[in-house]
Every structure is written in structure tokens, then in C-alpha cells.
Amino acid sequence: QSYRNNDNILSKFRQEGVDKLIKELRQKLGMTQTELARKAGIKQGVLSYIESGKTKNPRIDTMQAIAAALGVPVERLMKKAG
């Protein structure tokens, strides 16, 4: 099942707050952006853009990978964003 084109789901990640939550969770775990990116299997630059709010259309698979690397369900990020 592909969610890449599901604007309803992706729009939840565009809302203010999810960028701050990711950074907060990462810092609470004592992880650097590089460590989290490596654990999530994404580039550190991608994570930086998401945390800074510069990424307006994050991919659902990227958000799922970040959530898994943080040890939280992706729904937690969506609830914060929505």
C-alpha cells in the first residue's frame, strides 16, 4: 500500500509542530542528527530540513523510518502535527 500520493496523510506532516517534536525526541534520546539519520536510513540533510521545517512535503516512508528510529509509532508524529 503506497501513501506517497495521499495528500490527506502527508498534509498532517506539514503542520507546525512535527519538526519540533522530532528534534525534541531525538535530543531526549541523546542522538545527533547524524546518528538518527543513519538509524533511520536517510541522509542527514533530509533530517535537517525536516527538523527545520524547510521540507514542506515529507515522504510518508521517510516519516515512518524516523518514527521507527525514535522508537515511536508514526501516528504519534501525525497526532502532534494534526
pLDDT of the residue at 27: 94
* Helices within 1-82 (DSSP H only): 7-14, 18-28, 33-40, 44-52, 60-70, 74-81
Per-residue confidence (pLDDT) for residue 3, from 0 to 100: 41
Q: What is the pTM of this model?
A: 0.78
**What pLDDT, on a 0 to 100 scale, did the predictor assign at position 11?**
52
For residue 1, what pLDDT is reported? 40
Cβ pair 42, 65 in contact under 8 A: yes
Segment holding 74, helix H or strand E: helix 74-81
The predicted pLDDT at position 70 comes to 94
Residue ranges of the chain with per-residue pLDDT less than 70: 1-16, 79-82
